Structure 1
Amino acid sequence: MLGYRNLIVLLTLALLMPVDLWAQQGNGVESLRQTGKAFAAVARKVSPSVVLIQVERETEAAQMSPFGFPFGNGGGDNFPFGDEFFRRFFGDRLPDSPRFNAPGKKPQQGKQRSVVGQGSGFVFAANNKKTYILTNNHVIEGNDKISVKFLDGREFEAKIKGTDPKSDIAVIEIEASDLPAVQIGDYAQLEVGEWVVAIGNPFGLSHTLTVGVVSAKGRTSLGISDYEDFIQTDAAINPGNSGGPLVNLDGEVIGMNTAIFSRSGGYMGIGFAIPINLAERIANQLIDKGEVVRGYLGIMIQPLTADLVKSFDLKNDKGILIAQVTKNSPAEKAGLKAGDVIVNYQGRPVSDTGDFRNQVALAQPGSKVEFDIVRDGKQRSITVKIDKLSDNKLAAQESSSHASDKLGLTVQTVTADVARQLGIKAGQGVVVTEVAPGSVATMAGISPGSVILEVNRKAVNTPAEFNQAVKNSTNNKVLLLVRDDDVSRYVVLSWR
């Protein structure tokens, strides 16, 4: 039998257990409550600096609704929530709508009207006379009138201070001096998994807050803009959020919402934001100079595939491959060559072609930068003086690379006539005259007119040299340096 004291202890534990469980549940609710208050604090801090941007431009009307909805192109076939939504509220009584016209009434055609679009932005900087607002270039590009509206209801007409289509960044300015600017955060300290808050105007719903986490950093080669280094987030971003801030829990802006991945046109769980460090550097140049000055190196680069690593007899896949060096470019003058593998840039390891292009572009023209490269199995350092990037060039262009399973092409010597037709140098390389359908060459993007400059790192200038070089290849693989127009790339072809 239990002793008196033991019985008292058991009864006490039994009585305390429900209280302890309730306390644990209460702590969980309290934790959620505090999280909610953190989001609310972010909204209070940042929302006054966020603006609804509305833009107008004149265009030719053709059977379109006169309603100036700030969604899509304003036409009757582009209601933001679908036709059924408006049927439920308005029936078939939407005046002059192409879908809901009264019987016998024809829509107006051929008249000029204002098309209203919308997006988001946030106050980036201000002085005693002007306030500068950061947004996306695609929000304001090609529009005749831009207006901004703040949370407190104040509205201003804005004008463009500067745009940079290559990064999809723009700065607009308004005549005002007492408007709050956001606090800029440190993107470098941002970690995958952190809570973030997106604030903007999706579908024209002013100052909407959505919450999520950082899904990934350093997303490049998405094809959204020329220079990419996106933050990926699952915070809901929809049409109209473009240009709005992505904010951490301290209320600091760490990115600018720019794009979504969507098959429906709406939110599907993946959104992209430009890191604020990149946006800030470009915005400051637009404010100070009205344009962006980028560094120029003059090389074509491509990622290192497993086949390329073997073909170049590399120890690992660390680095990126130089496929082409532009004549008279800073890279050529410094001694960089096609086939060099860049492993470090300014003491920092290089592994991503998109990030490398961004770093070169951000370098100041006239500055000297240090490269560590691998050439013929040996590492060496090369210093390059960066030049100014012109409008028709990229800082360091990325070359595509493809590979497949069969080989099938014929070549001929680059005669003077062929050279004139292709705009290349006679006697240099061999020109592809025929490519077999379904062959490895076809799959690799080689087509008639392509010029093969090298086979397995050795120059070939005649069909005989080409055929012999292919014959001498081992393991049924061959490394080609192929040029199409002015673009060169390395390609590994495999066959059985």
Structure 2
Amino acid sequence: MQRMSAVRTGRKFLGALLAVMMMPAVFGAPAQAAGEDGRQVPQSATEVKLSFAPIVKRVAPAVVNVYASRKVVQQQRRMSPLFDDPFFRRFFGDPGQQLGRPQERVQSSLGSGVIISADGIVITNHHVIKDADEVRVALADKREYDADVVLMDERTDLAVLKIKGDGPFDFVQFADSDSLQVGDIVLAIGNPFGVGQTVTQGIVSALARTQVGVSDYQFFIQTDAAINPGNSGGALVDMNGNLVGVNTAIFSRSGGSNGIGFAIPAHMVQFIASAAENGGKVQRPWLGATMQLVNSEIAEALNLDRPRGVIVTKIYPESPAEAAGLEISDLVIAVDGKEVLDPNSFGYRFVTKKLGETATFTVLRDGKEKTLKVKLEPAPETTPRDTRELKEYSPFEGATVMNLSPAVADELRLDDKFEGVVISSIQPGSTAERVGLRPGDIIRAINEDKVETTRALDAMTRLHPRLWQLDIERGGEVSRMVLRG
């Protein structure tokens, strides 16, 4: 009897257990908690089997292959003097192109690009088309077109092309790259290794990466979607098929994908695209202040819970920083409400703002939080640059020089060097190149006489002294070169 009772009890328990297990089938599986913005993980086998094909079908026609080529003259090894002898050449002939004479050959590079407007505006990487004489793009449907270079910006490693063909062309819309979160699914589309258009899938692995080293503005989206050589300039898109970034670099010891790829955020891409629309010149806001990284020691001294923000260490007179009331030792912790972690993230947040508007800085001063309004203005040319190419025989022969100003310093990436004379370019094979001068060198003095303007430098090169003592500033350090006249 006890045995029968135990069996009945067991059957009741098993029935109750089966009823509980069957409840999801009747009432539906309990929904997993979703984020405030609606993001959630797949909840069923059906959802896991969902396809990215509709997104790819919509975006792929707007991703192009970019072919860049340039002609280079290659000097062959020097011809033996024996070939100058007619008797010798009678037996051995004229070596012609094989020895001694320059030969022309074509160098080519391959990358990807993204069409961002119906009239055929294409975004790609600067390093894909650098020094190119000819650029062609190939669409996903195999049509090919020549393309004009509208803008190249080495500082962001971005370039803008215009397809020479009748539109309309398929194009992608920009996404708000600031809305990305780590873990979001993304697709990378490009032409890796020249094998043809390829789509890879991954997630956003990290945001605001600042130690990549491929452009001046270190602020990248990191993804584990496979990115390989040839993907440069291609699209990184979200699940709405919108462009969140332009694939630019990979971290690799072998040259192939190791699951660490980097993309330039869409906000920076839009900034460069807007510059192309407005005359093809990139004008960035100028602050007129120097910033320093906050390390753990400084954070402790400032009673911060963690290292964050940037400290103002120098303010240029009559600059937007001074006009806004920014002071030395202020700690800038946010720009327009976006957190600033280091000088690189500050630079990205500031330079992607539109000229003519204002930016709101959140700063800590004496332990109290303040907000300051900074006008977004381009760097001024306080001193006319008076560009001169130095042709007189001297150590500077072949150098082009300019008077420094905030505008020139910004163009040449010289930070806060606003006074003096700087070398902007040097002709290959010139005296200036042979003595070791470089673009970006600031000429401080010649034979103990201070160099203040390009006009004064030009006059000094005509004196032909027996000895040249050059005080040159490079990388923040001044060194002396002594050369025979």
User: What is the TM-score of this pair, normalised by structure 1?
Assistant: 0.62
Match of residue 157 from structure 2: 168
Letter in 2 for 1:249: M
Letter in 1 for 2:158: I
Q: Deviations over 1:345-396 (max 9, x none)?
A: 3454433321211222123344343434334445544443333033522899
1:47 Cα deviation after fit: 1.2
Q: Does 1:355 align with 2:371?
A: no
* Alignment CA distance shift 1:240-1:391 (3 Å): farther
Greater relative contact order (Cα 8 A, min sep 6): structure 1 or 2?
1
1:145 Cα deviation after fit: 0.7
Q: Percent identity?
A: 35
* Alignment CA distance shift 1:373-1:248 (3 Å): closer
Letter in 2 for 1:209: V
* Alignment CA distance shift 1:167-1:206 (3 Å): same
> Does the residue aligned with 2:258 lie in a helix, a strand or coil?
coil
Match of residue 56 from structure 2: 43
Q: Does 1:320 align with 2:310?
A: yes
1:312 Cα deviation after fit: 5.4
Match of residue 193 from structure 2: 203
Structure 1 CA distance, aligned partners of 2:173 and 2:183? 21
- Correspondent of 1:119 among 111, 114, 130: 111
1:2 Cα deviation after fit: 4.7
* Alignment CA distance shift 1:58-1:40 (3 Å): same
Q: Does 1:257 align with 2:273?
A: no
1:422 Cα deviation after fit: 10
Structure 1 CA distance, aligned partners of 2:414 and 2:72? 38
Q: How do 1:316-395 residues align onto structure 2 when only pairs under 5 Å count?
A: 317-389=307-379, 390-393=407-410
Structure 2 CA distance, aligned partners of 1:318 and 1:272? 23
1:45 Cα deviation after fit: 1.6
RMSD of Structure 2 on Structure 1 (CA) = 4.0
Match of residue 223 from structure 1: 213
Q: How do 1:73-472 residues align onto structure 2 when only pairs under 5 Å count?
A: 110-126=102-118, 130-174=119-163, 175-311=165-301, 317-389=307-379, 390-393=407-410
> Does the residue aligned with 1:125 lie in a helix, a strand or coil?
coil
Asked if the contact 2:267–2:352 (Cα under 8 Å) also holds between the matched residues in 1, the reply is no
Structure 2 CA distance, aligned partners of 1:315 and 1:236? 37
1:142 Cα deviation after fit: 0.7
Match of residue 33 from structure 1: 49
Structure 2 CA distance, aligned partners of 1:374 and 1:331? 15
* Alignment CA distance shift 1:186-1:346 (3 Å): closer
1:305 Cα deviation after fit: 1.5
> Does the residue aligned with 1:192 lie in a helix, a strand or coil?
coil
Structure 2 CA distance, aligned partners of 1:176 and 1:300? 47
1:160 Cα deviation after fit: 0.6
| More moved, 309-318 vs 231-240 | 309-318
1:230 Cα deviation after fit: 0.8
Q: Deviations over 1:216-271 (max 9, x none)?
A: 11112432111232110011111100000011222222111011112222212200
Match of residue 67 from structure 2: 54
Asked if the contact 2:324–2:374 (Cα under 8 Å) also holds between the matched residues in 1, the reply is yes
Structure 1 CA distance, aligned partners of 2:11 and 2:366? 79
Asked if the contact 2:190–2:197 (Cα under 8 Å) also holds between the matched residues in 1, the reply is yes
Structure 2: where are the runs of 5+ without partners? 30-42, 77-96, 380-406, 417-444, 453-470, 479-485
> Does the residue aligned with 1:185 lie in a helix, a strand or coil?
coil
Asked if the contact 2:335–2:350 (Cα under 8 Å) also holds between the matched residues in 1, the reply is no
Letter in 2 for 1:33: K
Letter in 1 for 2:49: R
* Alignment CA distance shift 1:152-1:291 (3 Å): same
Structure 1 CA distance, aligned partners of 2:149 and 2:364? 46
Structure 2 CA distance, aligned partners of 1:29 and 1:303? 48
